[in-house]
Chains A and B, each alone.
Chain A
Amino acid sequence: MKKILIILLLFNLKFGHVFSIEPEIFVQSTVNRASQVLSKDISKEDKINELKSIAKETVDIRGIGFYTLGSARKNLDNDQKLKYFILFEKYFLKSFSSRLSEYTNPKIEVQGKEVLNKNYTIVKSLLISTSERPEVKIDWRVYTKNPDSPLIRDLIIEGLSLARTQKEEFASILNSNDGNIDSLFKILEEFSEN
C-alpha cells in the first residue's frame, strides 16, 4: 500500500513537472496564435472575435481588473464587484482586441525572461521593425502563481505599462466623480456599446 502511494506521489510530481509551462514559451505561443489570426484573410470583425477568445484563455482579465481599480476595489460590495467584472471584461476585450487588430502579421521574437519572484516573471520580446515603424520592445508580466497555467497580467511597451496607464485612467474618472463607482460603470458601459 505504502509503495503504491509513493508511486502515485512520484507520478503526480512527474505529471506536474511535465505540464508546467515556461513563461517565455507560453508568451511565444500566445504571440504566434495572435499573429496567425492577424495574418488571416478574414474580416476585421472575425479577427477581433478570434483575438478575444485567445485573450480570454491567456490573460488574467480578473486580476488586471482588480489591479486597475486600485484601492477603490476595497470599497465595493459583492454585487458591485460582480457588475464591475462583467463590465471590465467587455471593456478590456474590446480595447485590447481593437488595439491589436490594427497590426497585420506582426513578428514578435521572445528574447529572454527575468524571474521577479514566485508570482511574476517578466518575459522580454521584440516587435521586429518594418519599413513603416521601428522595432518596439515589449515586456510581458506573466503571473506564475500556478505554473501549470501562467497568465498575462501586463504589457510594458518601451517601458510604459498598459495596466498602470489603465489604472491611472480609472483613478482619474473616479476622482472626477467623487469616487462614485456608478459613474465608472456608466463610462465602461458606454465604451463597450459604442
Chain B
Amino acid sequence: MFNRFIIILLSVFVFSLNAYAGTDGKLDLSKKEQPKKIKDCFEKLNRATFSFNQGLDKAIIKPIAKGYRNLPDPIQKGTKNAVTNLSNLITIPNNILQGDVKLAVINTGRLVVNTTVGLLGTIDVANKMGFPKYVKEDYGQTLGAWGVGPGCYVVLPVLGPSTLRDTAGSFANVMGGDPWYNASVHGNNEFLSEGLYITSKAISGVDFRADNLESFDNLEENSIDFYASVRSLYLQDRENKIDNNQRGNVEVIYKNEEDWEEIDSN
C-alpha cells in the first residue's frame, strides 16, 4: 500500500513537472508542427548519473551482454522472441489508446499465436505466418501521441535516458498498465512472481545491450561528447516512434528543412 502511494506520488510529481515544463513555449509540443526542442534541465545531475551508468555498464552489464552473445544462436533468438512477445501486453493497450484498434487486434492475434503455437513466445510463428512487422508501443509514446510534451530530458540510474513524459509513461506499467506486471506481482499465482518479472525485464535489457555492443563502442570512441550523442540519439528515436515514422513517409521524417536549406557550401 505504501509502495503504491509512493509510486502515485512520484507520478503526480513527474506529471506536474511536465505540466510546468509545458508552460515554456519551447516545450509546448501540442503544436506538433513546431520543431521539438527539449531542455536538459538537470544536465549536471544527468551527466553524473550517466557516468554512474557507464561504470555499471562496464563492470556488469556489458560483460553479461558479451556472455549472452556467446550463447548458441537458437537460445538467443528464443530469448529475444519471448521478451518481445511479452512486450505485446504493453503494446496492445497502447494501440487502443492511440486509436489503432485494427493493429491492437493484429497484435492480440500475434500474442495468442506466439504464446501457444510458438511455445511461450520463443518461436515467432506469427512472423512466419505473414503477420505485419511488429512495432512496440508504450505509454510514453501514447502520451506523446496525445500531444503531451516530453518535458525535461532525464537520465535514470540503471535504466538510462528518458524524459519526464516517458518516465511517467513507465510508471503506468506498474500502476496497472502492464498485464505481465499485474499477473507476476499481484497475480497470486504459484508460477509467476515479482522475481520473474524483474528477470524478464533484465533479460530484455541485456538482449538490447548485446545487440548494440559494437555500435555503442563505436559511438563512444568517435564522440567528442558521448553524453550529448546518446541524448540526441535517444530523443530522435523517441520523436520517430511517437510520429510512427514509416519509411517512405519522407514529408514526415524530413519535415524540418530550414537548417539544411540555408547551408550553401558552394
* Chain A positions near chain B (C-beta within 8 angstroms): 60, 62-63, 66-67, 70, 91, 95, 98-99, 102, 114, 116-117, 119-120, 122, 124, 131, 133-134, 137, 139, 141, 145-146, 153, 156, 159-161, 164-165, 167-173, 187-188, 191
Contact = CB atoms under 8 A, between A and B. Distances in A.
B218 A160 contact: no
B232 A124 contact: no
B248 to A, nearest CB: 8
Given A67-B263, A145-B266, A172 B227 contact: yes
Given A159-B236, A160-B236, A66 B263 contact: yes
B254 A116 contact: yes
A128 to B, nearest CB: 16
Contacts of A98: 221-222
Given A168-B231, A169-B225, A172-B227, A153 B237 contact: no
A177 to B, nearest CB: 11
Interface in B246-266: 247-248, 250, 253-254, 257, 259-261, 263-266
Given A66-B265, A173-B225, A187-B224, A120 B257 contact: yes
B236 A165 contact: yes
Interface in B218-252: 218, 221-225, 227-229, 231-233, 236-237, 240, 245, 247-248, 250
26 contacts: A63-B263, A63-B265, A66-B265, A67-B260, A91-B224, A98-B221, A102-B218, A114-B248, A116-B250, A119-B260, A120-B260, A134-B211, A141-B254, A153-B263, A159-B236, A160-B237, A161-B236, A164-B236, A165-B232, A168-B229, A169-B224, A169-B225, A169-B229, A170-B224, A172-B225, A173-B228
Contacts of B253: 139, 156, 159
A31 B233 CA distance: 24
Contact of A95 (B214, B222, B264): B222
B232 A168 contact: yes
A186 B250 CA distance: 37
A67 B257 CA distance: 11
Contacts of A160: 233, 236-237, 240
Q: Name the residue among A114, A161, A164, A165 with the largest chain B CB count within 10 angstroms.
A: A165
A114 to B, nearest CB: 4
B228 A172 contact: yes
A114 B259 CA distance: 19
Contact of B224 (A60, A116, A145, A173): A173
A167 B127 CA distance: 38
Given A63-B264, A172-B225, 6 more contacts: A62-B265, A141-B254, A164-B236, A169-B228, A169-B232, A172-B227
B222 A164 contact: no
Contacts of A188: 224
A66 B263 CA distance: 7
Contacts of A137: 247
A146 B266 contact: yes
B133 to A, nearest CB: 12
A94 B9 CA distance: 49
Contacts of B229: 165, 168-169
A172 B40 CA distance: 10
A191 B229 CA distance: 15
Contacts of A146: 266
B263 to A, nearest CB: 5
A115 B206 CA distance: 40
Contact of A124 (B227, B247, B260, B265): B247
A58 B265 CA distance: 14
A133 B73 CA distance: 12
